[in-house]
Amino acid sequence: MNLVEKILAAHSGRKKVSPGDFANVKLDLVLANDITAPIAIREFQKLGVDKVFDPDKVVMVADHFVPNKDINAAEQAKLMREFCYRREIVHFDVGQMGIEHVLLPERGLVLPGDVVIGADSHTCTYGAVGAFSTGMGSTDIAAAMATGDIWMKVPPTIKFVYHGQLGTWVSGKDLILYTIGQIGVDGALYAAMEFTGEAVDALSMDGRFTMANMAIEAGGKAGVFHVDQKTLDYVKPRAKRHYTVYEPDKDAEYARVIEYNVTKIEPQVSFPHSPANARPISQVGNVTIDQSVIGSCTNGRIEDLRIAAQILKGKQVHARTRCIVIPGSQEVYLDALKEGLIDTFIHAGAAVSTPTCGPCLGGYMGVLAAGERCVSTTNRNFVGRMGSPKSEVYLANPAVAAASAIAGRIVSPEAV
């Protein structure tokens, strides 16, 4: 069996599972946020069950419209909090502020070998620590909160092998954008994406979170990494419970094996209106921008902010461009403060927000008007994703987003 099959077999009490098998899988964690939790809560209440299966294994994070942007957002968050109070759910508003997919690994709530489901498509982020994690609908989440398990079809696994060494300013964001550009937004439909190879081994944990986060943008059910020493160094100080590290068998079977040589890959930019519309920075041309966003569950971690600050330090955001920096959590915010990154951002003319999903989903804190263009470190650039359906979003890594904020158009970091 491969890595995903090992994890799902262990959680379904079976010696072996294969792609296409249906399995009843025990869950280590169930997640919802301030958009999806209210739907799940209402469905949960219809079940006639009063208690969740384990108050320590249900997590609710208000992050999409928090701090509340309007009355409707406040009502959503209130419903979620009251549900948690009544059912003695331990983990809600984890860390009091932050983006769910940054917070959960940071707080040691997701660990190697776990099975995690969340009512958010980017729940696949946790594959970076060697967990099987995937997004599901709010009705599935309601059932899972009551029973502690979920019915699912075992996905096939596509193995991606990245050979070579990454060039300057090339990151995990570029690897995943390049991959999606090659295989398309449905290239891994309902498949687990297993990321391997020396280029992946060289990635930091933050880079791996970024890649796993965007597996869903290729249609993937999950994106997973093998557990290595970097993973253990990240997990051990955070873990508060036992976990199991799984490894694929040497004769593990895969639906496909796709190999890339990354040596000549440049920083990537995904043009509107699809993450698959990726092209190298040298082929972007003259694209002026009105806004640059650095943050989100994809690229709002401390390494992302360090890279952006490295480029912005001593420089100024273009007079006709807005630059918005959003740390992924309070911990990231504090680290950025201690390291002087916030000072750098503000002196460069950027606006720094409290941790929130904010503009990524067109929520607030950076919504686009008709005709405006934004380069963003977020994960989606569909029509109307960040505001007006007549606006445009270009996806890039934090280095490109910071450089573009200075230039007022999309450029390579080397240009500034």
Split at pLDDT 50, 70, 90, the class of 328 is: very high
The whole-number pLDDT of residue 205 equals: 98
CA–CA dist 74, 47 (Å, integer): 25
Task: List, in order of start, the domains of the chain with CATH numbers.
Answer: 3-259 (3.30.499.10), 269-415 (3.30.499.10)
For the residues 163-178, what does the mean pLDDT come to? 97
The whole-number pLDDT of residue 94 equals: 66
For the residues 271-299, what does the mean pLDDT come to? 97
The number of angstroms, rounded, from the C-alpha of 165 to the middle of its chain's C-alpha atoms is: 24
- The answer to whether residues 2 and 157 touch, using CB atoms and an 8 Å cutoff, is yes
Q: How many CB atoms lie under 10 A from the CB of residue 391? A: 23
Minimum mean pLDDT among 85-94, 186-195, 352-361: which range?
85-94
Split at pLDDT 50, 70, 90, the class of 95 is: low
pLDDT of 330 strictly over 70: yes
Q: How many CB atoms lie under 10 A from the CB of residue 153? A: 12
The whole-number pLDDT of residue 97 equals: 81
pLDDT of 93 strictly over 90: no
CA–CA dist 9, 22 (Å, integer): 11
H-helix or E-strand containing 309? helix 302-312
CA–CA dist 158, 145 (Å, integer): 30
H-helix or E-strand containing 181? helix 172-183
pLDDT of 407 strictly over 70: yes
- The answer to whether residues 143 and 61 touch, using CB atoms and an 8 Å cutoff, is no
pLDDT tens digits along 179-189: 999 999 999 99
Q: Could you give the C-alpha distances from 143 to 44, 57, 156, 413, in angstroms and in order?
A: 7, 14, 25, 47
The whole-number pLDDT of residue 96 equals: 75
